[in-house]
Amino acid sequence: MNQSSESTTKSVFEGEDTIIKVRDLHTYFYTDLGISRALNGVNLEIPRGKVMGVVGESGCGKSVTALSIMRMVAKPGKIVQGDITFFRKDKKKNDAIEEINLTKLEGMGPEMRSIRGAQMSMIFQEPMTSLNPSYTIGDQIMEAIILHQNVDKVEAERRAVEILDGVGMANPSLIVKRYPHELSGGMRQRAMISLALSCTPAVLFADEPTTALDVTTEAQILDLMRDLQKRIDMSIVFITHNLGVVAQMCDYVTVMYLGRVVEQATIDDTFYNPMHPYTSSLLRSIPHVGSHQKDRLKPIRGVVPDPYSKVKGCPFHPRCDKAMRGLCDVKVPGLTVVGKSHTVRCFLHSDVEEESTYVQ
């Protein structure tokens, strides 16, 4: 750990500071079937105090990226290369920035455990598999509070009730005594959010937190998260397939494909000026409310390649209508800055080449 200068935290997003910077991250799963390359050279920046949407088809590495940053990748998974830097503000030293390389810490060691939960939290996709059915909602929230803050059980319970009330839970003093199976889907999701926010983290990873909810409850949860984000100046990494939710929630968007980031941009550039063919294809494959066109939706042909395989050249070229033979199928595009707060990996916009980043 060391103190970081202000220039180090400057983001690729103009006018923003970076809270997490990921460089050349490779996370592989070593199985009996072979090596599954879930992340294959991820380069990512998360701006401080903003909402970053992460989109892409299933199998692109969105959830594994969040788990890698949180150092929660379970065996047989392993981070084999790369750096994850967390720029932590030290409130005791007038918000001085402390630079922490998370890849140098033991995933289950005391330093990482002091960061995870207190300064980084995660809302998992399915609360019924994330909440412990043997303990009440209150016990689980209180455990996190007592672990990371110097308070007794009485104060922890008071804070748990306060947090549940803050996420819009009716009768929070009764809910703390309930078990997960006694709550509805929407109430469990609010309880999961309460658990994640119990120590007011600087970064919140939300892994498709509204997938199993009805549209009314989904809208309430999204409004709640956005309100809490503004209230405590928290960074949110919102992982989802729903581009409508991205448009509603996010300030910036990261597009992933086959374990790599292919485009990062502001929300406006993502929807109105996409540069990567994959981003454009994702946008064409969704219906638009109020559209008078009667054309069929244009699905992306093919599927995401098997993570056990190695794709020569640009990972997207087998499915890309604009792929250039002899270039896209041979060389890997490098990162190119194409505008303010806008980066892309595509030979349509630059001839910058990157060495293939597969690690044995």
| CA-derived radius of gyration, the chain | 21
Backbone angles phi, psi at 227, to 5 degrees: -65, -45
pLDDT of residue 288: 66
Residues 159, 162, 166: CA angle, nearest 5 degrees: 135
CB count within 10 Å of CB 298 equals 13
Domain boundaries, the chain: 2-119+201-287+298-354
- Residue for token pair 């207190």: 118
pLDDT of residue 210: 77
Per-residue pLDDT of the chain (360 residues; tens, 9 = 90+): 566 555 566 667 877 899 999 999 999 999 998 999 999 999 999 999 999 999 999 889 999 999 999 999 999 999 999 999 999 887 666 677 899 999 999 988 999 998 998 899 998 877 777 889 999 999 999 998 998 888 899 999 999 999 898 888 889 999 999 999 999 888 888 888 888 888 888 999 999 887 767 788 778 778 888 888 888 889 999 999 888 889 889 999 999 999 999 999 999 999 999 999 999 999 887 776 666 666 677 788 888 888 888 888 999 999 999 999 999 999 999 989 998 889 999 999 988 888 666 675
pLDDT of residue 267: 94
C-alpha 330/C-alpha 7 separation (Å) is: 36
pLDDT of residue 351: 84
pLDDT of residue 20: 95
Domain 2-119+201-287+298-354 has CATH 3.30.565.10: no
CA distances 100 to 67, 77, 105, 159, 315, Å, are: 17, 22, 9, 29, 31
pTM, to two decimals: 0.88
Assign residue 100 a region: left if phi > 0, alpha if psi is -120 to 50, beta otherwise? Answer: beta
CB count within 10 Å of CB 110 equals 8
In tens, the pLDDT along 274-324 reads 999 999 999 887 776 666 666 677 788 888 888 888 888 999 999 999 999
C-alpha 174/C-alpha 313 separation (Å) is: 57
What is the separation, in whole angstroms, between the first and last Cα of the chain?
29
pLDDT of residue 126: 74
pLDDT of residue 2: 62
What is the DSSP code (8-state) at residue 116?
Answer: B
pLDDT of residue 260: 92
C-alpha 199/C-alpha 149 separation (Å) is: 8
Write out the two tokens for 275.
Answer: 């540069």
- Where helices occur in 204-263 by DSSP H, the ranges are 215-232, 243-249
C-alpha 267/C-alpha 247 separation (Å) is: 7
Write out the two tokens for 56.
Answer: 């892409």
pLDDT of residue 65: 96
